[in-house]
Structure 1
Amino acid sequence: MADLKLCVWNVEWMNDLFGSNDLPPAFRPDAEKPAHASGSTVKKRRDDLAGVINDLAPDVVMVVEGPNRSGELQLFFDVDVQGDWLCHIQYSKGQAQNLGLAVRIDQGKFNDPPFKAFDTNNMLQFGEFFVDTDDDEIDEIYHFERRPLYAEINPLNGRNFSILGLHLKSKGIFDAFEWSKWWAVADANRRKILAQATQIRLQFLDPFLRDPGTQNHPLLVCGDINDGPGMDASEKRLFGSGVERLMGSIWEPALCLGNSLYDSMSAADRENLNFEAVRTTRFKDPIFNDVTHSAWIDHILYSKNTPQSWVTVGKVNERLPDDSLIWRKYRHASDHFPLTAVITT
């Protein structure tokens, strides 16, 4: 068996650090201000992103809001991050935020090649789809703005496992609207998250966990779901929650996914379904006087089709191994906290 450390992290607009897609992969000038972080510089963001990864020392990184090209992610890990890595970006047409995968290959933990990536642009499950999200007997058309990243990881000592990286539709509303319009946009965003989660569950997860060829194969589903446990005001009107749809139906317990952060909550919090202690992002609300909100929207989910627990020690890393606060030591990194878990196959 092999113990691998997984990191799942929304690195926040990494594409801002790189130059034009028409040129070979290259960083923007060190002193340039990133488009979405005017209070920082390209070099400060690079240093702080790499500092977090170096301190956490993962073996596998699922990158959310990565750059446009595999060569750009590879450049960052080659130049700024300790060790040797192999990187991959799942390209999504018209997007400046893409999902990426990085696997460390200099510590003898993986076979060659360390992973096989599948282009989800060629997978029908992740193309345009129809679903009735408002129970009016009319199917609406939806798509994935950011195509999921799908790969099979190939450890040296242990079973292969599959990983599905996700970045679902944002709930964020950053423009001022009249209240009825604001609620209409909020409801529409949540309908889209629910539609995307439903498509993944019905067209990918259920078949994967039922098919004799894959039903016993370990599977991770991780990333920024933009949704947490329970239902907010909009979701109550829709009678659905995105992350709970992904995790599965109580009527099909063999197909349900575990949640590593839930597993790591205290026994009392699990018993009382008290999720307040778990937060994976902090952000200021520009509509409501920059009030700071905290939310649990990033997740590490896993299949329960192995003889023993294989995803353990789920953690939101607000503090680093030296006990320093991540947002104080690396304040130019990201508004999301990195998640980690131990994978044993």
Structure 2
Amino acid sequence: MTTARPLRLVTYNVEWFNALFDNNGRLLEDDKPSARYQVSRGEQLGALGIVFTALDADGIVVIEAPDTNGKRSTVKALENFARKYDLRARRALIGFPSETEQEIAFLYDPDRLTARHDPKGPTSTTQDVPGAPRFDTTFRYDLDADNVFENIRFSKPPLELAVTTAGGRSLRLIGVHAKSKNPYGAIGHEAQIRLSIENRRKQLAQCLWIRQRVEEHLAAGDSLIVLGDFNDGPGIDEFEKLFGHSGVEIVLGTDPDPARQLIDPHAAMALQSRVSIAPASARFYLAPQKRYFEALLDFIMVSPDLAARAPEWRIWHPFDDPQVAEIPELREALLQASDHFPVTIDLPDVI
């Protein structure tokens, strides 16, 4: 008797993926510079081909996916990419287009999964409508505790998916790219701090919005996976002390009832060891300090019923993961492909 292959899902932020395609979704496999420092477009595409092939995933939430607008198509670009590198995950979809050139997309294996964009929530923005509003609309929240409700919007609306496995199991996926804007335009240190605090409040309000949707799914008994780049995490910056919780903690759930919490072991490690050992999923070069800085920004959070299946989480870090580190080609590809590293979860007995 053979054991069924686990369902492998991935979140992967691909830096400047959009710059690797022309307006017709064709790959720009040349020696011209990519947006990655000292990496050509051809080199970055080749590196991404190696990484996606190694992942061998059933479904990948691609953060910073190629743009969709009047001239460009995320779906066409990603499906051309999958065809070029003969990936199992060869069908793509997106939800609500982003206001930026960075989409949230799902690239999946149609032999193992079916998937459709299935947004939830009312489109009304009034305070009287129950439930979290749809992610392409407006969330009203009192950011400053002054009894004045501000309008919160996503520049990159989360991608809500209804997914069904080949065996008929239903899953809910929410792909997230939360972003706290830099304090551009603020003159002087105090003005920059004020704007930074305001932007962080808005990001936390977005996480509260996502958390409301999470609670609706948990109450309905849905098998839920929330995954993506939160640009945030336990201990990530000084504003966490000001607000009490990081956005990641808010989405995971602060209620002590385990049935109302999402589970991510990497987040749990960071919460338990804020000033010591913690995993990392992204690596950035800081020019003033002339060194690299690492952070845990990418997460895969699952509902308790999925966590009870003993899934395996993994960050494909080129130096911290021994299985990756011992394969030079994959290690170098991960460094060339993006400033983030893929995070995977293998869910047994789901397909």
TM-score, normalization: structure 2?
0.82
The separation in 2 between residues aligned to 1:270 and 1:25, in whole angstroms, is: 41
User: How large is the RMSD of aligned CA atoms in angstroms?
Assistant: 2.8
2:313·2:344 contact (CA, 8 Å) conserved in 1? Answer: yes
Q: How does 1:13-24 map to 2 (within 5 A)?
A: 13-20=16-23, 24=24
The answer for the alignment partner of 1:284 in structure 2 is: 285
Maintained 8 Å contact 2:105/2:159? yes
Unpaired stretches in structure 1, ≥5 consecutive residues: none
Counterpart amino acid of 2:238? A
Quick one: which of 94, 97, 104 aligns to 1:99? 104
Q: Aligned partners of 2:29, 2:106: CA distance in 1, in Å?
A: 25
1:309 aligns with 2:308: yes
Q: Which residue of 1 aligns with 2:129?
A: none
Could you tell which deviates more after superposition, 122-131 or 136-145?
122-131
Equivalence for 1:296 = 296
Q: Offset at 1:59? A: 1.7
Query: Is residue 32 of structure 1 aligned with residue 32 of structure 2?
Result: yes
- Residues 229 and 275 of structure 1 are in contact (CA less than 8 Å); yes or no, is this contact kept in structure 2? no
CA offsets per residue over residues 154-177 of structure 1, 9 Å max, x none? 212362211100000146568996
**Which stretch has the larger CA shift, 293-302 or 150-159?**
150-159
Work out whether residues 260 and 341 of structure 1, in 8 Å CA contact, stay in contact via their aligned partners in 2: no
Contact 2:258–2:304 (Cα < 8 Å) also in 1: no
2:185, 2:335 → 1: CA distance? 26
> 1:149 maps to which residue?
159
Going from structure 1 to structure 2, the CA distance change for 1:122 and 1:147 (only over 3 Å counts) comes to: farther
Residues 277 and 240 of structure 1: CA distance in aligned 2, closer, same or farther (over 3 Å):
closer
Q: Write out per-residue CA displacement over residues 48-73 of structure 1, whole angstroms, 9 at most, x where no aligned residue.
A: 11111112222211111101221111
What is the identity, as a one-letter code, of the residue corresponding to 1:259?
D
Which whole-Å deviations, capped at 9, do the CAs of 1:184-231 have from their partners, x for residues lacking one?
2322232121010011112x1112222xxxx22211000001111246
Q: Percent same amino acid at aligned positions?
A: 26
Q: Summarize the alignment of residues 312-323 of structure 1 with structure 2, pairs less than 5 Å apart.
A: 312-319=311-318, 321=323, 323=326
- Any residues of structure 2 matched to 1:12-161 within 5 Å, and which? 12-20=15-23, 24-28=24-28, 30-34=30-34, 36-68=35-67, 69-83=74-88, 85-105=90-110, 108-110=111-113, 114-118=114-118, 124-126=133-135, 127-157=137-167, 159-161=169-171
TM-score (norm: length of structure 1): 0.83
Q: Identify the range of structure 1 (155-164 vs 142-151) with the bigger mean alpha-carbon deviation.
A: 155-164
* Structure 2 match to 1:337: 341
Moved more, 48-57 or 155-164: 155-164
Partners of 2:107 and 2:166 in 1: CA distance:
16
For 1:155 and 1:191, the matched residues in 2 are separated by: 38
Matched ranges for 1:212-227 at <5 A: 215-227=220-232
Report which of the two has the higher share of strand.
1
Q: CA deviation at 1:317?
A: 0.9
Match of residue 247 from structure 1: 252
Mapped to 2, the partners of 1:37 and 1:272 lie a distance apart of 32
Residue aligned with 2:207, SS = helix
Aligned length: 325
Q: What secondary structure is seen at the aligned counterpart in 2 of 1:45?
A: helix
| Change beyond 3 A, Cα 1:271–1:122 | closer
Q: Give the corresponding residue for 1:196.
A: 206
Name the amino acid aligned to 2:191.
K
